[in-house]
Amino acid sequence: MDLAAILQRLHAVRDQNDWQPFHSPKNLAMAASVEMAELVEIFQWLNEEQARALPAEKREHAGQEVADILMYLMLLCAELGIDLEQALLAKLADNERRFAR
């Protein structure tokens, strides 16, 4: 996955729609949270078995919400100067150190 190319495309959409004034870190974090709530809503009231065996339509919807979340997080990282890949790898290494047996 070429994160730089994806971010460039996200910025192109943002700029074409004059959304940059609204893409503050606070707003992007809030938008990611809203999209996460939309993802959670797909699973609301399902038991574990149902949640793991989503019908194709709901699985596709879940994928769209996951993509929305990732896009907002990528935009947030760009606004804050966070290297998303480096942050992810550092956190993974930390979790491996803390929780690996």
pTM of the predicted model, to two decimals?
A: 0.94
pLDDT tens by residue, 16-30: 999 999 999 999 999
pLDDT score of 31: 98
DSSP string for residues in 41-86: HHHTT--HHHHHT--HHHHHHHHHHHHHHHHHHHHHHHHHT--HHH
Structure tokens at 98: 């803390």
- Does 37 map to a domain? yes
- Does 99 map to a domain? no
> How many folded domains does the chain comprise?
1
| Lookup result for tokens 């919807």 | 61
pLDDT score of 101: 82
* CATH number where 37 lies: 1.10.287.1080
Secondary structure element (H or E) that encloses residue 10, with its range? helix 3-16
Residue 84 structural domain: 3-93
- Does 100 map to a domain? no
Rounded mean pLDDT of 38-43? 98
pLDDT tens by residue, 41-90: 999 999 999 999 999 999 999 999 999 999 999 999 999 999 999 999 99
Cα(10)–Cα(19) distance, rounded to whole angstroms? 11
- Does 101 map to a domain? no
